[in-house]
A and B are shown apart, each in its own frame.
Chain A
């Protein structure tokens, strides 16, 4: 049990995501993306030295620490190339290997909502911030959903509005819409979910050591299938955690609540 105190939920989210990224791939994270940026930097230090960070204007940045916002000169000013929004079309049409999304609502098929909750888009009960680049959801080979919270308000059966498409209503609707990419994992502070290849619905893959299958199900707004025995999410070993803390996140942004 002492190991569980060694790693915070946000650090574990970054570690889980880092293991997904392969050497030689190219991808990016958007604004407000401290965990995805940590995942990309950690992947470079552990197993993917040739990971290319590009697609959000800063090419192969060298952040010295993490910021809540990861899209300005404080974090990314030191980089190999600075692109402009002209390149948005190039990246959107070519696609990336991977991208990261967060949402006000995420649904059972991995659709993302950042526009409104309740009401309609023209008369919203709650209006969200919207999203910048929605095309990466399907032009990227795959994407990862990384949420700040795990609650029934965030993880819902069906989003009120599809800002960025996941698997829509399942395989048929994806075929009809011509969608070939999609979410690979949903990583929350409590658990890791993947998607059933038949139904393209979320299912429980592993539970973080500080949570339980019961807690995860209680805090998920839809039925979450799971195997009889759900494994615990493996924690980073001490060497990897030291890299994360010393090289990626020296000021401990991911350790703060």
Chain B
């Protein structure tokens, strides 16, 4: 066991509101881990929304969707630096509607500019040179990118600006009380770079494991404790996104939201009220994670999602 006095980074779920408010200023830059419908830190997203922080600027690994759409629907977002925003089989209704009504500034960025920005920040340099862009309008409109000259050869290149999120929220399957994180999912997405780029990092994990277990398989530690400010035990904290191999994606839940949000985008007061009601029931009303999990179908639904992941 560890020496007494070592700082325990395990925080209680009820402390998250305070931590989010401490780490993330109004209008702050928030980074989300995971990719599309996998390992998205949904329970932490709900904590950010409950904290009341507004005018947020969002950045993510190159693929985002449901989480970002819910945050926009809740009115918490001012700007996005997101390469692709999609539910994959359909578009993100709140993102699309807010961009078209000029309620958010949806910056035009791509994967290399965002990943390059994380990489530069992780390496402590102001920009990442990029030599793989040609002919796309995305480059001309990308606020992260400028032209530069190679200092060695004089050749024209692009530079993409370092991205330093105020707060990164990530989800992984396992971690210990000191903040050592272990992804069991096949991919680690951009989570490792984001953890290095961000000023503050909160990670939710499905399970807390003993530090001896971390030590026994140290090569599998995906994010070392020195990059993590707080770890919180939130089983099923990625729902409705998947946390493989523990539980699969709740496509029905995401589709039900998308139908309501799309109706609100196209419709009038009644449809917008229905979306506000959805947000209230799923984000603001549940006081604890277990209240939330009861709301989305409880143990039987969670068991279905676990079986689906197990059968893969």
A residues within 8 Å of B by Cβ?
A: 31-32, 57-58, 68-69, 71-74, 76-79, 82-86, 88-89, 92-93, 114-115, 121-135, 137-139, 161-165, 168, 174, 177-179
Contact = CB atoms under 8 A, between A and B. Distances in A.
Contact of B193 (A58, A86, A128, A132): A86
B185 to A, nearest CB: 6
A236 B130 CA distance: 42
- Which has the most chain A C-beta neighbours within 10 Å: B63, B109, B187? B187
Contact of A127 (B99, B116, B136): B99
Interface of B: 35-38, 61-63, 82-86, 88-89, 91-92, 95-96, 99-100, 102, 106, 108-112, 115-116, 118-119, 130-138, 141, 185-190, 192-193, 242, 244-245, 248-249, 309, 312
A74 B187 contact: no
A138 B192 CA distance: 28
B83 A131 contact: yes
A82 B86 contact: no
Dominant secondary structure at the A interface = loop
Given A72-B244, A126-B100, A130-B83, A84 B188 contact: yes
A156 to B, nearest CB: 15
Given A85-B61, A134-B110, A139-B132, A163 B189 contact: no
Given A121-B137, A139-B132, A165-B134, A77 B244 contact: yes
Given A72-B37, A86-B119, A165-B135, A31 B110 contact: no
Q: Which 8 A-B pairs have the closest CB atoms?
A: A165-B135, A73-B244, A129-B86, A135-B132, A127-B99, A132-B62, A85-B190, A92-B132
A111 to B, nearest CB: 8
A129 to B, nearest CB: 4
A164 B136 contact: yes
Contacts of A163: 136-138
B136 A162 contact: yes
- Which has the most chain B C-beta neighbours within 10 Å: A68, A89, A125, A130? A130
A134 B185 CA distance: 26
B89 A129 contact: no
Contacts of B38: 72-73
Given A78-B312, A115-B108, 9 more contacts: A31-B88, A69-B37, A79-B186, A86-B193, A129-B91, A132-B111, A161-B137, A163-B137, A165-B134
- Which has the most chain B C-beta neighbours within 10 Å: A85, A125, A174? A85
Contacts of A86: 115, 119, 192-193
A104 B182 CA distance: 38
Nearest to B188: A84
Contacts of A127: 95-96, 99-100, 106
A76 B137 CA distance: 31
B91 A178 contact: no
Contacts of B110: 130-135
12 contacts: A72-B242, A74-B244, A85-B118, A92-B112, A129-B84, A129-B92, A133-B110, A134-B111, A135-B111, A163-B136, A165-B136, A179-B134
Given A77-B244, A130-B84, A177 B135 contact: yes
B243 to A, nearest CB: 10
A76 B85 CA distance: 21
Contact of A134 (B85, B118, B138): B138
Given A131-B83, A161-B137, A68 B89 contact: yes
Nearest to A174: B135
Contacts of A69: 36-37, 88-89
Contacts of A85: 61-62, 111, 115, 118, 189-190, 193
A22 B252 CA distance: 38
Contacts of A57: 187
B36 A72 contact: yes
A57 B187 CA distance: 8
A164 B99 CA distance: 21
Given A31-B36, A77-B245, A130-B82, A124 B99 contact: yes
B86 A31 contact: yes
Given A74-B248, A125-B100, A88 B112 contact: yes
A73 B115 contact: no
Nearest to A127: B99
A128 B92 CA distance: 9
A196 B61 CA distance: 38
Given A57-B187, A88-B112, A129-B84, A124 B193 contact: no
